[in-house]
Amino acid sequence: MEGGFTHFDNKGNAVMVDVSEKNITGRTAAAGGKIFVCSEVIKAVKEGSAAKGDVLGVARVAGIMGVKQTASLIPMCHSLIIDKCSLDFSVNEAENYIYAECTVKCSGKTGVEMEALTGVSVALLTVYDMCKAISKKMRLGDILLISKSGGKSGDFNFDD
């Protein structure tokens, strides 16, 4: 089903894509996103003074755990063996947001885009959870696939 909906059979039933004939190749994906917060949250994150502890450290671990659980959360995702996962954060005090970027690598028959997107989303949700006692006025946004490489469809860069 080149270019069509690949998660449905000819009767319209939802199916997992058959990747059995695909070659194992190196796959990489990076996703990013932001959580917009108030200055008190920025201060607590930077100073490490949030009541629940090290916000970005816990969010990093949560994001990695989210990557590993993607197939359990997204119905048609294949279970993958993840070779590497990293989560990096930056704090933008001028615009009151925390940026998270998740990079995932594997050698497999299908890509890791959903894993990277899940990882960044779970990391940002964890920031919300850990900081909601300071302020519930937070907004997640700008979550996107930055890039991917490997596989039949080739490379993708959001900015291209």
Q: What is the pLDDT of residue 10?
A: 81
- The domain limits of the chain are 25-150
* Sheet order of strands, 25-36 included: 84-92, 97-108, 25-36, 139-149, 156-157
Instruction: With CA atoms as reference, report the closest residue to 101 among 143, 65, 156.
Output: 143
Residues in the chain: 160
Phi, psi (5° rounding) for residue 128? Answer: -55, -50
Q: What radius of gyration do the chain's Cα atoms show? A: 18
Q: Annotated active-site positions, please?
A: 129
At 75-99, the pLDDT tens digits run: 999 999 999 999 999 999 999 999 9
Q: How far apart are CA 71 and CA 138, in angstroms?
A: 28
Distances (CA, A) of 114 to 30, 80, 95, 98, 156: 10, 11, 28, 21, 14
This prediction's pTM: 0.92
The CATH number given to 25-150 is 3.30.70.640
At 127-144, the pLDDT tens digits run: 999 999 999 999 999 999
The rounded percent of the chain whose pLDDT value lies above 70 is 97
Q: Looking at 15-138, which runs of residues are DSSP E strands? A: 25-36, 84-92, 97-108
